[in-house]
């Protein structure tokens, strides 16, 4: 299956095909140029080596697994390695990994020599369903997520569902929260797939339909000036929870990104029957529907959200399945949102 992100001069193909990592050379120029392959130590080394085997001048650079690598220190070390490798404006960065590798690799490509080519080969459910397309690249500053970054579209995205077989169950399910998000805001048939079958049975359709939702929204609004805000559904509260309870840096116990987004979605659904259906899907998947956290700390993180403007912030609410609404609310109302986040 193939989708094409139509962004005029920044357009690119998204290839969804089992085994496609072995055929990257068919979709991108990997010869007569330096290819910097960024991966992390949680990704099977064979994936990066599969890419390297198709290149005339490759270098594989491996960073530590986890959100902690999306920091200034690791960002700087990657750029130094790129410089030492002798990369020029005609060379390319290939990210082989999950959302952290894609975000960091994309930002390094965006900022090295003011921008060089970038290819994304996502290997996690979360990255395949959501973060690998759309051009958002970023690193974190302290506890504030994705606050330093750039819009930088890839040249091509290769999505190989076969690589998901190596993921632990919790990592696999973590990414499905973003697919559930896409179904709730824009695709009732995608939501229905979660109610009918186990996700493994429909994983290619789930990935495809999720990407189609995001592709359609990004094509309308590449730089998040309007409709793209819909993709933040669940993220205002979710990012706040992730900053306080997320597995990142030295914090080895806690919640993953998708789990935080799942918690952030429930208070923003206005239809009680849809809330119950969503909870049922989350429970069946193994996503949390409630969690204990310090609400004051989460609230403080929410006030730093990128969607904030002075004393107000835009949040995404869902009045019913397949639709959404952007509400600009005063910062003073944020505590009310958190108060709604508990189980009935």
Question: Which residues are catalytically annotated?
Answer: 114, 136, 178, 214, 224, 228, 232, 235, 239, 257
86 class by beta-carbon count within 10 Å (0-12 exposed, 13-18 middle, 19+ buried): exposed
Residue 343: closest CA among 288, 273, 274, 281: 288
Read off the tokens for 196. 């009918």
In sequence order, the 6+-apart residues with CB closer than 8 A to the CB of 235 are: 261, 264
Tokens of 145: 């997520």
Identify the bridge partners of residue 121 per DSSP, sorted by sequence position. 96
Residues with Cβ < 8 Å from 195, sequence gap 6 or more? 277, 280, 281
Closest listed residue to residue 124, CA positions, set 173, 75, 74 = 173
Going from the C-alpha of 227 to that of each of 76, 149, 233, the distances in angstroms are 33, 20, 12
Q: Which two tokens stand for residue 204?
A: 């290619």
């Amino acid at each position: 299956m193939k989708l094409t992100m139509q962004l005029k001069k920044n357009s690119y193909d998204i290839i969804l095909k089992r085994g496609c990592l072995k055929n990257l050379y068919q979709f991108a120029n990997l010869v007569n140029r330096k290819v910097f392959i960024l991966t992390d130590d949680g990704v099977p080394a064979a994936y990066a080596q599969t890419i390297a085997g198709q290149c005339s001048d490759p270098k594989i650079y491996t960073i530590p697994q986890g959100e902690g690598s999306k920091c200034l220190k690791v960002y700087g070390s990657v750029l130094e390695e790129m410089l030492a490798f002798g990369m020029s404006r005609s060379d390319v960065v290939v990210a082989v990994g999950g959302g952290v590798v894609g975000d960091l690799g994309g930002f390094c490509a965006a900022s090295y020599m003011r921008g060089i080519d970038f290819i994304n080969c996502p290997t996690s459910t979360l990255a395949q369903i959501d973060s690998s397309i759309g051009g958002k690249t970023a690193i974190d500053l302290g506890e504030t997520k994705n606050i330093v970054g750039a819009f930088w579209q890839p040249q091509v995205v290769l999505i190989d569902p076969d690589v998901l077989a190596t993921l632990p169950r919790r990592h696999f399910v973590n990414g499905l929260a973003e697919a559930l998000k896409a179904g709730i805001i824009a695709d009732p048939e995608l939501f229905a797939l979660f109610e009918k079958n186990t996700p493994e049975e429909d994983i290619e359709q789930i990935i495809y339909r999720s990407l189609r939702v995001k592709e359609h929204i990004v094509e309308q609004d590449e730089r998040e000036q309007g409709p793209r805000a819909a993709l933040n559904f669940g993220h205002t509260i979710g990012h706040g929870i992730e900053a306080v309870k997320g597995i990142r840096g030295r914090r080895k116990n806690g919640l993953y990104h998708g789990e935080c987004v799942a918690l952030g979605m429930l208070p923003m659904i206005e239809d009680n029957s849809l809330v119950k259906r969503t909870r049922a899907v989350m429970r069946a998947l193994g996503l949390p529907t409630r969690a204990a956290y310090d609400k004051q700390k989460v609230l403080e993180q929410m006030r730093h959200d990128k969607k904030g403007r002075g004393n107000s912030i835009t949040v995404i609410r869902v009045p019913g399945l397949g639709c959404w609404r952007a509400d600009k609310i005063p910062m003073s109302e944020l505590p009310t949102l958190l108060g709604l986040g508990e189980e009935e």
